[in-house]
Amino acid sequence: MSAPDGTRVALVTGGTRGIGAAIAQRLRADGFAVATLARSGADVNADVSDEDAVRAAFAHVRERLGPVLVLVNNAGVARDGLAIRMPHEDWRAVLDTNLTGAFTCTRLALDDMLPARWGRIVNVSSVVAERANPGQANYVAAKAGLLGLTRTVAREMGRKGITCNAVTPGVIDTDMTAGLNGDLKAAVPAGRVGRPEEVAAAVGFLCSDEAEYVNGATLAVDGGLGA
C-alpha cells in the first residue's frame, strides 16, 4: 500500500513554510512521496480545523498518491494573550487547529495505516508543552494535549506496526518566532536559536524504519531550553 512508484506516502500539515517546509523537504530526500497540506499554497489546501475539508484532502491524496502511511501533524497557530483577557474565540481557534486538527488527521491516517500494518505519526508539539509560558494558555494547552494524544495513540497502536511520537521544538528560526524578545533566545543553553532543518532531522528519524522501536516518545529539539 504505497504510491504508484512504490514509495510510501507522507502527509505534512502546515507544510508550506518554516518547520513544516523543512520536514517536507527532508522526507522527500528520504524517499517518501510527500503531500503538503495547508490553508493555501500547499499540494492540498485545507484548514485542519474543518473536518469535512480534511476528509476531502485525504481523499485527494489517496487518489493521487495512495494511502497515507506517514503523518506529520505540524499545522499550528498562535493567538497570545493573558488568560484573564483571552476571548473564547482565540482559545477555540488555537485548540481547534493545534490539537483537534491533529486528532482529525490522525484518525483518518489510521484508516490507511491499519490495513498496511505499518505507519508513522509524528506530532510537532513545543517546548512550552512542559513548562509555563505566560500569555499562551491556549497554545500551551494545545501543545500539552498533543503529548497526551501521542502517548495514547502509541499505546493503542503499538501492536499494529504503527508508532506515534512527538518532537518539542524550542526557539526555532521561523516566522512565528521572529518577534520574540532577546531574553528568551538568550536563555537557550546552546547559545543560539535552532534551524528548521534540525527539527526536520529528528522527524525524519522518527519516520524511518530504524525508529521501529521508538513509540510514545517525546524528542526535544530545543538546545537544552527545556532541560
pLDDT in tens, 117-159: 999 999 999 999 998 889 999 999 999 999 999 999 999 999 9
Helix, strand, or coil (residue 222): coil
Q: What pLDDT band is residue 174 in, cutting at 50, 70 and 90?
A: confident
User: Which pLDDT belongs to residue 182?
Assistant: 65
Q: What pLDDT band is residue 43 in, cutting at 50, 70 and 90?
A: very high
Q: What pLDDT band is residue 1 in, cutting at 50, 70 and 90?
A: very low
The residue among 173, 180, 181 whose CA lies nearest residue 199 is: 173
Domain ranges within the chain, ordered by starting residue: 9-221
pTM to 2 decimals?
0.94
Domain 9-221 has CATH 2.50.20.10: no
Catalytic residues: 139
Tens of pLDDT, residues 61-101: 999 999 999 999 999 999 999 999 999 999 999 999 999 99
Q: Do 166 and 124 meet the contact criterion of CB atoms below 8 Å apart? A: yes
User: Which pLDDT belongs to residue 4?
Assistant: 62
Terminus-to-terminus CA distance in the chain, angstroms?
40
Pick the more confident residue, 28 or 186. Answer: 28
Average per-residue pLDDT in the chain? Answer: 94
